[in-house]
Structure 1
């Protein structure tokens, strides 16, 4: 086997994610079709892209309750809007309840954009409109408590509102993160010992995992169909 062939074989045998994770929660991946990716040959026709929680955590640079809440909110919304098939990018419009300057909302919107492709005016306009996703994500009023997001399937006008109550998870990103955050300043300053840092990370990611495992009802999430 030539050096080139050996390198190619080694490359093909690698996992798709070589990030050396030490602490990361896990979740069911989200499968979503992207017609533009199909046209350009990234994936076979009508086959989905696979977006994992690891993907959005890497894009965000961290895994936290807000990132997990946005991931799970999107997952629950897409399951409701597309019960019989894969969700489709460019067919999903999202309203993020609140203002883009609100604490935590910007990062949550970025997670939703990463999964659904829905973007503001800076998004890709498509080829002659095909595959466009600009002007599909906005901030505004959503009639629900907590962190609220309205997802609309534009081809059918079906819509759902997902609300996420961070305080129900025991760590509220709007309240300095709760008790688990008390050690963080010491870790950042380099004053915490290894045992303190490990205990903090274990508590932190256990709470993130709880969000990702939460059901559609009876926990921090509420999913309601809307007109």
Structure 2
């Protein structure tokens, strides 16, 4: 088969990711069922879709601590909500703690939406309600510190709150080991040399990786069940 694999109805092999990544952090993929995808034959019944960190980086257009924090927050929440099986799209409701205009929250909400399918009023309404995920994501009050997200299973009303504070991974400031924003400005302006650019990117993705590798508790994340 050529390097440019194609997908047809008779050949359901997924195409390879041919994006020429130079730098990108790694994370365990998230597997999540989508009943509508199963009904339409995208995947076998009861088999999950696989969402990777590369997928959400493409959606965001970049990888950063906020994107990593949203990905890992969602991963931790789904692991707690579905300890014995795959999470299920259309059965997950999310409240993003804060307002869409709050710094970083819009992109973080988009990552959560991409993984869980949970959407605001613009989301897919389903076929006769089946497979719908509109009105499942909103912004509001979540009783937790830092960036906080409430995930709830609508099939059994169990819920968890995940709070995210990047300072727990030492990535909140240049003083905490972060890359120089002055160097970033030089890269954007085309004034940085190759060594400066490589050094900046290495530091940048080191921060992202530390967030993606963080445990459920004791670092930048706290996961708590709620009523």
Cα deviation code 1:123-147 (max 9, x no counterpart): 0000000000000000000000000
Could you list the runs of 5+ residues in structure 2 that have no partner in the other structure? 7-12
Contact 1:180 1:204 (8 Å CA) reproduced: no
Contact 1:171 1:179 (8 Å CA) reproduced: no
Contact 1:30 1:75 (8 Å CA) reproduced: yes
| Cα 1:196–1:42 shift into 2, 3 Å | same
Task: Find the counterpart in structure 2 of residue 11 from structure 1.
Answer: 5
Task: Find the counterpart in structure 2 of residue 55 from structure 1.
Answer: 55
Task: Find the counterpart in structure 1 of residue 28 from structure 2.
Answer: 28
Alignment of 1:1-227 (within 5 A): 11=5, 16-172=16-172, 178-227=178-227
Compute the RMSD of aligned alpha carbons. 1.9
Cα offset, 1:171, TM superposition = 2.4
SS in 2 for 1:85: coil
- Provide the rounded CA distance (Å) in 1 between the counterparts of 2:148 and 2:98: 8
- Provide the rounded CA distance (Å) in 1 between the counterparts of 2:203 and 2:35: 40
TM-score with structure 1 setting the length: 0.92
Cα offset, 1:180, TM superposition = 3.5
* Higher relative helix content: 1
Cα deviation code 1:148-174 (max 9, x no counterpart): 00000110000000000012223238x
Cα offset, 1:42, TM superposition = 0.3
Could you list the runs of 5+ residues in structure 1 that have no partner in the other structure? 1-5
Figure out how many residues of one structure are paired with residues of the other and give that number.
219
Task: Find the counterpart in structure 2 of residue 3 from structure 1.
Answer: none
| Cα 1:217–1:14 shift into 2, 3 Å | closer
Cα deviation code 1:13-70 (max 9, x no counterpart): 9962110000000000000000000000000000000000000001111010000000
TM-score with structure 2 setting the length: 0.92
